[in-house]
Amino acid sequence: MFPRRIVVILMCVLPIAACSGASDEPVSADDETEVSLQPLADVTTTSTIPVERPEVLPPDTIPTELIITDLSQGGGWTAGIGDTVWVDYTGILSSDGTVFDNSYDRGEPIAFTIGTGTVIDGWDQGLVGAQAGMQRRLDIPGDLAYGDSPPSGSGIAPGDALTFMVEVRAVVPPSVAEDAPSIDAATYTVSDALDVDEITEGDGMILTEGDVAIAHVIIADGTSGTAVFNTWAEGQPLLIDMEPGYTIDGLHDGLLGMAVGSVRVLSIPAEAAFGAEGAEAINIGPDTPIVVIVELVGAY
């Protein structure tokens, strides 16, 4: 679970959309709860961005072993055990091509941590080596799918082999405080307008209006340079809907046009930060400018 402090800060800094808790299968649950009350590895995001669902045809023969076919290449971090991946998917019965589930109709990529047993074995094994932007087909034999115990009402029979078309939206490794960039917020002076300093330019997807950013951030008091919030230390990045009003103006505007893999320092005046009210939960007083160090680790 997220620490209680994170719950308060998420409400204060950027309201997070509701999500469905993940089960031990790639078919997501329908019951909604708050992202801030769920481990990141066990949530389904809820940004309703229309994405075209690729066609999936059944294999010529029923798979008796896991078959991984990469239909397009990706870039950035390569997924391994312990990494969190965000994916869109379509699942069909390998026998006849019947679609039993997909994320596109819900507009909800799902997130899970590889190797933790929260998804079927065919996914835990089949997403190793994936990269953001990749389209990967998984032909999964029954014993690496649901075996003799398929989900009730799923349309999957005991022993069914399954085929998934998966589009990888983001791959994010676990983090510790030491992973944060060595940048001293106290060296930045905040003016009356947003200032963006591009420290490192990534080569991934360019973030635009309507996308969802997956970002690590450090928030510092712009007057003293003291860091008051650090997602690297918490071990989890934040999901930020790039919609006007979802988060503070300075963070929204400072993220736009950023490429995945980039690091920026945003010097944000008070009126584009927390304004006259400040943010008591993270010790930001009224009319206080802030400096935000941000790394865009994923986007979709």
Structure token digits, residue 32: 């909604």
DSSP state of 78: P
Q: What is the pLDDT of residue 77?
A: 85
Contacts of 60 (CB under 8 A, 6+ apart): none
Q: What is the pLDDT of residue 170?
A: 86
CA distance from start to end of the chain: 24
Q: What is the pLDDT of residue 203?
A: 85
Decide if domain 4-172 falls under CATH 3.10.50.40. yes
3-state secondary structure at position 10: helix
Q: Where in the chain is the domain with CATH 3.10.50.40?
A: 4-172, 177-299
Q: What is the pLDDT of residue 204?
A: 84
Q: What is the pLDDT of residue 2?
A: 26
Decide if domain 177-299 falls under CATH 3.10.50.40. yes
Structure token digits, residue 172: 């994010």
pLDDT in single tens digits along all 300 residues of the chain: 222 233 333 334 443 332 323 333 454 333 332 222 222 233 233 333 446 788 899 999 999 999 999 999 988 889 999 999 999 999 999 999 999 999 999 887 899 999 999 999 999 999 999 998 899 999 999 999 999 999 999 999 999 999 999 999 889 888 889 999 999 999 999 999 999 999 999 988 899 999 999 999 999 999 999 999 999 998 888 889 999 999 999 999 999 999 988 999 999 999 999 999 999 999 999 999 999 999 998 888
Backbone angles phi, psi at 260, to 5 degrees: -55, 135
Q: What is the pLDDT of residue 51?
A: 60
Backbone angles phi, psi at 95, to 5 degrees: -70, -40
- Listed in order, strand segments (DSSP E) in the chain are 18-21, 32-34, 43-44, 67-72, 84-93, 99-102, 110-113, 135-140, 162-172, 195-200, 212-221, 227-230, 238-241, 263-268, 290-299
Please return the burial class of 152, using the count of CB atoms within 10 Å of its CB with bins 0-12, 13-18 and 19+. Answer: exposed
Contact 22, 31 (CB under 8 A): no
